[in-house]
Structure formats: C-alpha cells, structure tokens
Structure 1
C-alpha cells in the first residue's frame, strides 16, 4: 500500500505541475482570431476567462481605438448579458472612403451576466473598415463580483515578452492580392461563407488550430506526467531490491 500511496502522490504532483505550466497561456483576456486583413471587415470574439476561485466576472468593458477608429461596429447578443455601445467625438476627423469620420465607437460594455470560476465567455463583435496599420489594441477592464477590477491595457514589450496585463491585440496583415494565397483568416471566412451558402454547418479553421494547439499542450503535459511516474517507479524499485 505504501508503494501505491507514493505513486498516487507523484501522479497528483505531476498533474498539478502540468496544469500550472499550461494556465498562463489562457489566463488573460484575448481577441480571437488574433489576425485580420487591412482594409476589410472582420468578426472577432473577446475571450474572457474567469481567473478567480472565489468570485465571478460580472462586467467587461472594452475600449476601442480612437487614433484609428472603426466606422462600423456591431455586437452579437450574449444570453444573460446586456450590452451598451458608446460613441464619441474623435479628437480630429479621420478620412475614410465613406467620407470624413468625426464620431466612432469608443467603448462597448457587457454586464448583468456572470462568468463563474473555471469558466470563460466569448463576446462577439463585427467591425470595419480595418485601417492599414500593423495592429490594434483594445484595452479591457474585467470586473469581479467582489469589486476587483483587472485592467488589461499593457502594450507588448519592446523585447517581445508579454507584460503582466496585456491588452487584447488584433494583428493586421496586408490584404491578399488577386490570385495570391489567402491568409488563414481569409480562408476561414471563405470556408464559412461556402458552408453557409450550401446549407452545411460552417467550420472555422482558426478554431481547429486552437483545438490542435490545446491538444499539443495536453499531450506534452501527459508526457511529462508519464516521465515523472517512470522515474519514481524506477527509484522505488531500486530501493525495494535486496542488496547483494
């Protein structure tokens, strides 16, 4: 029984270690998918995980860029949540192909719902026309039921490392030329549109990529657990072997 207890302890410790290594990649507010084409329109989801064990997320406040404003923004209703879209006057008019843009969406707030511990929620937004810049930041405030507010507003560091509270970042790439190979985001949109036209369920390759990434992490963690168990079982076997 002593051997069984030791093995069980090792498995529990290894599992906890694997979970601890995997959590940082998912422990902040992100925008999915993280890439879109310049000059076009896109649909994104602000993915909000609940990081607290003793409180629920009750409010999400996303700030939209005013230096590169978006002329068109619409939101998808989320059951159990109310949404408020705020428009404001821009510091200076911005020229677009639709004319001078003097006002634009500056903030979107979801509240009234609840994201419990161990859960996440996605808040979808359709927006455009995307500017010809490298990226757009969407600083986000996450409010918990206990009154705590986490401000996800830090820009990426110059050395490429991630800050403690990174803002959701949408990377923008040049639009694919006619006849050129489409980006993954464009291919996903085309596949979804084709599926909708044929009446078949739409499939988003980006989601599949995220699933594959998660599977790879899971398999890597499982390998780590198996390796640790093997080392411990070998050590226990040597200790139990009678000396010559």
Structure 2
C-alpha cells in the first residue's frame, strides 16, 4: 500500500490565512471597543446647572433589551433638597404624571411659603415607547437648585414591555467602583452672581469693557479665539495625515508580504 503524500501548502496560502486572521481579530477588537461600556439612565443639564439657579435637564434613557421596549420611566426627586419648580416638557407619545408631596419644612420662594413640592414625575408610553436600539431624552425644567449641595441624586425606575423593572437607585460613592444600577446624578456648578441665566463671566467682563470705552479686552479675546481655531485646524490636519500614513503603511505591508510569498514560491 502506497503511503498517502500530503500536498504541501504554499507559503502564499499561509500568508493569506494569517492576513485574514489578523483582519478578523482587528475587526472583533473594533466591535468590542465601539460597544457602550455601561448604558444606564442618566441626567445631564443643557448648559450648566448652577447652585441657586434654574436649569433644563435631560433624563437620558437607553433601551438595554433586544426583545422589549421601555414603556415607563419614573424619576423620584429627593426630599432632602426639594425643588420649588419642576416642569417637564411635553413629549409626543408619552403621558406625564406629576406627583406632589407635603414638605416637612416649608420652602420660602420669592417671599412666599411653599408647603408641597414635586416628589415624582412619571412618563408612560402611549404607543411603542423606546424600542430596542434606541434612546429617549426626557427634558425637565428644575429650580431653584440647592445652594448648599454639590449634586442632586435622582432615583429612577425603568419598566419594559415584558414587565421587567430595573431600579436605578444605587448612589455612586466617590473613590469606589460604579454600582451595577447607579442612580442618575446631577452635578451642580458654582453659583453665578445674582443667579444669572446664561451670562458668563467672560461676557460680563466684555460688557464692562465696552461701557468704559476700553476695547483692548475684546481684541484680546478675538485673538485668543483665532489662535484656538488655528490650533484646532492644525490638530485636525495632523490627525487626517496620521490616518492616511497608517493606511498606507498597512497597504505596503500587505503588498510586501505578497511579494515575498511570490518570490518564495
């Protein structure tokens, strides 16, 4: 019986296999890196949320399930830092329910006593809700923000169409790992003078300079802005050049490998 001779595999086939394997690993790495780390209910202000002032905040709710939609969101407002004004914006396809509770200690706002405040806002879907692969923002105007706190913690409850309930109520602690179901936290910035709405210190300084007839600060601001724009443009150009050079290097490496395989065979 004659021995069966195995046909030698050419180096070109081996090189191509290694190349395909490398591309596959690189592709999977991109997929892993591009996936969100931990998607959860969060809150962010539009602009800044200054102590003692008013702000428009957005509760951001992603759908984390592949087979169910988010049909209900309940946001609880802290009783230790009650807000005298809570006004959610209307959202098409959602019913909004506002719950108020009596305060243990009345608030004094603009010279009048307030004995109750909003303790909970609930959004209930009237249609499909937040479908898989989508995210929804729920805007709310709030104030006056507390002056003696650095943040406000809101506890949120997310309900899915399959009756699953996720409670985002764990308070993150500084220096510790993020909990599995963290509560939305609104960070508060330093109080503006006079609790202004949108006027920055730079704008106030510019207005004072114009009133006094001194135009030099405005000119300096313009020069700084031009310099910043130039730096941003240079960074973008260098970034594009880096990408092109990297792509060229990869292409050169592939071609060189093919040439070596052809010469060897």
Normalising to structure 2: TM-score of the pair? 0.64
Q: CA RMSD in A?
A: 3.5
**Structure 2 residues not aligned, in runs of 5+:** 1-12, 204-238
* Preserved contact between residue 56 and residue 142 of structure 2 (Cα < 8 Å): yes
1:60-79 to 2 correspondence within 5 Å?
60-79=73-92
Out of 94, 99, 104, the position equivalent to 1:86 is 99
Which structure is larger by alpha-carbon Rg, 1 or 2? 2
1:1-244 to 2 correspondence within 5 Å?
2-3=16-17, 5-6=20-21, 8-20=23-35, 23-24=36-37, 27-33=39-45, 35-112=48-125, 113=127, 114-132=129-147, 133-177=149-193, 187=200, 237=257
Mean Cα deviation higher: 168-177 or 104-113:
168-177
Q: Deviations over 1:97-121 (max 9, x none)?
A: 4433321000000012411111100
Distance 1:177 1:75 in 2: 26
Distance 1:65 1:83 in 2: 19
Tell me how far 1:44 sits from its aligned partner.
0.7
Distance 2:106 2:262 in 1: 81
Normalising to structure 1: TM-score of the pair? 0.69
Mean Cα deviation higher: 90-99 or 76-85:
90-99
Distance 1:16 1:152, change over 3 A: same
